[in-house]
């Protein structure tokens, strides 16, 4: 990776979390502000932070750009976010057409059209997956490999 790519990624990370660290804030509000900043800095139309509910074997949206629904629930393994929660893989979907991991059910409920997706696992200090951060529809068309590396760092 070039030095300028590293600097750009570091700037995106600092821009996304800058001003949030060290403030007293409710976790839901913090996550919503964080997903707002991540989506903005990474030129995504929408973003979601999912948390894992191990007892139910599901992911649920804790912070999302989701005016149409109160919450999204996906089985672990369902959709791109569910796949990330199950495997720990970073997933970059340049186009949802023909993508077997894409779950169209949320788009059907919201009437939103997902075209590109970038998702990364959120891990605790022990490495266990506790959530997923997912971005939808890069404003430039597709998410890059560098975007994936930045999202991993943010997650």
Residues 28-54: tens digit of each pLDDT: 777 888 888 889 989 999 999 999 999
pTM above 0.75, yes or no: yes
Task: Look at residue 14 and tell me whether its pLDDT is greater than 60.
Answer: no
Helix (H, G, I), strand (E, B) or coil at 85: helix
Report the distance separating Cα 58 and Cα 76, nearest Å: 5
**Domain 3-154 listed as CATH 3.30.450.40:** yes
Report the distance separating Cα 121 and Cα 69, nearest Å: 23
Segments making up each domain of the chain, as ranges: 3-154
Distances from the Cα of 92 to the Cα of 18, 20, 32, angstroms:
25, 27, 22
Strand intervals (E) in the chain = 44-53, 58-64, 73-75, 91-93, 117-123, 129-138
Task: Supply the pLDDT for residue 1.
Answer: 47
Task: Tell me 94's DSSP state.
Answer: S
Task: Look at residue 145 and tell me whether its pLDDT is greater than 90.
Answer: yes
Point out the least confidently predicted range of 7-16, 52-61, 85-94. Answer: 7-16
Task: Supply the pLDDT for residue 155.
Answer: 84
């Amino acid at each position: 990776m070039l030095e300028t790519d590293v600097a750009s990624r570091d700037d995106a990370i600092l821009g996304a979390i800058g001003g949030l660290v060290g403030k007293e804030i409710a976790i839901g509000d913090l996550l919503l502000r964080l997903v707002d900043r991540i989506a903005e800095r990474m030129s995504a139309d929408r973003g979601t932070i999912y948390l894992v509910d191990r007892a139910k074997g599901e992911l649920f949206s804790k912070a999302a750009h989701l005016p149409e629904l109160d919450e999204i629930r996906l089985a672990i393994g369902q959709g791109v976010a569910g796949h990330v929660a199950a495997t720990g893989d970073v997933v970059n979907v340049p186009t949802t057409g023909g993508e077997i991991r894409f779950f169209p059910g949320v788009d059907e409920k919201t009437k939103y059209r997902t075209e590109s997706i970038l998702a990364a696992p959120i891990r605790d200090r022990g490495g266990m997956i506790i959530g997923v951060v997912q971005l939808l529809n890069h404003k430039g068309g597709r998410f890059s490999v560098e975007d994936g590396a930045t999202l991993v760092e943010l997650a």
